[in-house]
């Protein structure tokens, strides 16, 4: 497998771990000194940092396990990434990709079964987030790891006041 494909696969594993809310798997994709920062769009091409950066795989694992809301009953999320731009230079790589996150909510199956005429998947799929991942990676002991991960959100983020 090419280095470019291996780098792309790190992002694929990252988004799947996010969708599963698996902090241990996601944290293992990062170096111990990695920096993760979310940015929100404030203008045509302007972003500002949102919150404090996460440091290292342990910080990522903690954030996933303690700050990400669990999916509701019958719910899930699907991150899609596309238009990957990957540059590899020896043991360093840069990846930039667009993303869209979809919220999926399955309809509950009626106790008496589906009504006559109902066909196909039952539920809703709606886009809830979009933006870019801008990521630096380094090969560590033959394995690609994230060293800097910027999440560039297209929309602001609201957080309830404590």
CATH of the domain at 124: 3.10.450.50
Say if pTM beats, i.e. exceeds, 0.75. Answer: yes
**pLDDT tens by residue, 75-111:** 999 999 999 999 999 999 999 999 999 999 999 999 9
| Low-confidence residues in the chain, pLDDT < 70 | 162
Which domain range does residue 23 map to? 3-153
- Position 160 in a domain: no
With residue 51 as reference, give the H or E element that holds it.
Answer: strand 47-55
Half-sphere exposure of 144 (CA within 13 A, CB side): 26
Show the DSSP H helices in 21-144 as ranges.
23-27, 56-67
- Position 159 in a domain: no
Q: How many domains does the chain have?
A: 1
Alpha-carbon span 59 to 75, nearest angstrom: 26
């Amino acid at each position: 497998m090419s280095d470019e494909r291996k780098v792309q696969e790190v992002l694929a594993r990252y988004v799947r771990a996010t969708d599963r809310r698996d902090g241990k798997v996601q944290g293992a994709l990062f170096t111990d000194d990695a920096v993760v920062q979310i940015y929100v769009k404030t203008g045509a091409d302007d972003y500002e940092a949102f919150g404090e950066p996460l440091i290292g795989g342990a910080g990522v694992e903690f954030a996933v396990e303690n700050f990400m809301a669990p999916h509701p009953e019958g719910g899930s999320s699907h991150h899609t990434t596309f238009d990957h731009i990957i540059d590899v230079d020896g043991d360093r790589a840069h990846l930039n990709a667009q993303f869209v996150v979809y919220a999926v909510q399955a309809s509950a199956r009626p106790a008496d079964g589906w009504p006559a005429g109902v066909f196909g998947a039952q539920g809703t799929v709606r886009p809830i987030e979009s933006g870019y991942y801008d990521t630096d990676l380094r090969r560590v002991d033959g394995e690609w790891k994230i060293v800097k991960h910027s999440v560039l959100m297209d929309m602001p983020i609201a957080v309830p006041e404590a």
